[in-house]
Amino acid sequence: MYFLKVISHFDSAHYLRQYSGKCSNIHGHTWKIEVTVKGSKLNHQGLLIDFGDLKTLLAKVTDQFDHKLINNVDGFTDDELNPTAENLAYYIYNKFQVALPEHVAVHQVEVWESEKSCAIYSEER
């Protein structure tokens, strides 16, 4: 199995709904996003998928959050997902997966909200 990882970041704000702590107030992060994909077959060039294609795809998924209030982004409004790091990882995982070629799958998505705190989503057990 081959694994590739791309890393990006964006700046945005959020607040947690139905939370009784400081994070219920609007606050911002420089979010670091790491996406790892996997596959067992390389193409005729010896690539699983081009890193440039992965970076472009990651930008398409995350640009909607850059310099925005995540609570106002489709998928995270009042009756949808609470904009936790866990839910961001889940959301990015699913958006990324449907855009990949058939022979490549998302292995995991890491969403870092600080240098010391991240959430990881993977469908593997």
Q: What is the pTM of this model?
A: 0.94
pLDDT for 89 equals 98
Dist. CA 64–CA 41, nearest whole Å: 32
If you ran DSSP here, which 8-state letter would residue 41 be given?
-
How much is the mean pLDDT over the chain?
Answer: 96
Q: Which of the four pLDDT bands, split at 50, 70 and 90, describes residue 7?
A: very high
What domains can you pick out in the chain, each with its CATH number? Answer: 2-121 (3.30.479.10)
Report CA-CA distances (Å) from 112 to 13, 53, 65. 14, 22, 14
DSSP states along 62-108: HTTTTTSBGGGSTTSSTTS----HHHHHHHHHHHHHHHS-TT-EEEE
How far apart CA 27 and CA 15 sit, in angstroms, is: 6
**How does pLDDT run across 78-96, given as a tens digit for each residue?**
889 999 999 999 999 999 9
pLDDT (mean) for 110-115: 97
Of 9, 107, 124, 103, give the one whose Cα is nearest residue 58.
Answer: 9
